[in-house]
Amino acid sequence: MNKPLSGKLALVTGGSRGIGRAISIKLASLGAKVLVNYSSSPDAADETVRNCVEAGGEAEALGFSVGDSAAVDQAFDGIKEKYGKIDILVNNAGISRDGLFIRMRDEDWHKTLDINLNGSFYCARAAAKLMLKAKQGAIINISSVVGEMGNGGQVPYVSSKAGLLGLTKAMARELASRSITVNAITPGFIRTDMTDALDEKLKVEHLKAIPLSRYGEPSEVASLVAFLAGPEAAYITGQVIGINGGMYM
């Protein structure tokens, strides 16, 4: 079988569950060795690793919080020492602290920005140092449709996801001369723990706003990530690509 990512080393942040797990499995099935990052769910990360192996690939779990700059640098020092490179970075780790913004606590604002936006910056900065030397690489940032269209009750989350779009475009310009691509994906509502936690009434409302009348699957996001990480997407950089069932056009 043709495996377009053979020989590539990928890091998927928040690979322990949900969309990150699906991305890890997809990249591994296409031949990449996948480092499955987790923060608080080591057992779930181990399960993702097993899933990657079952899909015919190679993977290992790598625990650190993306919101901790020193921990990120330490993890990348380890990657450099062991592998000497990183080919694909998927900034997928994310959290949401929802509520009316006038009542939003500083700590919820900072926590969301720390993980979703700062964490992506820390990981991309460390990965880019290795990619620049190799003169190749792909960085894929998982933003959100709400980063494009806004959403009441999610001010910190939306701000972090909109920030990721700026980060994507600025990094894409800075890294393009070394053939490193940087793109953002903006999923709509995808079936994971994050969306399972939503109020039932809200879920019904969301479905009304989705022309394709269903939630997306993590595997559908994973397929788009795999395309952007692969050789057929070498001429795509600085783009924001929606996968949202048509809810934002």
Residues that bind ligand NAP (CB under 6 A): 13-14, 16-20, 37-41, 44, 65-67, 92-95, 115, 142, 144, 187, 189-190, 192-195
Q: How far apart are CA 232 and CA 40, in angstroms?
A: 35
Rounded to 10 degrees, what is the CA torsion of 144, 149, 151, 156?
60
**Is 157 an annotated catalytic residue?**
yes
Q: Which of 38, 83, 157, 215 is catalytic?
A: 157
Nearest to 145 by CA among 206, 196, 188, 208: 188
Least distance (Å) between residue 115 CB and ligand NAP? 5
Q: Which is nearer to ligand NAP, 67 or 163 (CB)?
A: 67
Query: Residue 152 CB, nearest distance to ligand NAP (Å)?
Result: 16
Give the dihedral sign, CA 246/161/163/22.
negative
CB of 51 to ligand NAP, least distance (A): 13
Would you say 1 or 208 has its CB closer to ligand NAP? 208
Q: CB nearer to ligand NAP: give 29 or 48.
A: 48
Q: Which residue has the tokens 């701000």?
A: 159
Tokens 């190679």: give the residue. Answer: 58
Neighbours of 217 (CB within 10 A): 14
Please report how close the Cβ of residue 221 comes to ligand NAP at its closest, in angstroms. 7
- Tell me how far apart the alpha carbons of residues 31 and 235 are, in angstroms, rounded to a whole number: 21
Nearer of residues 5 and 115 to ligand NAP, judged by Cβ:
115
Annotated catalytic residues are 157
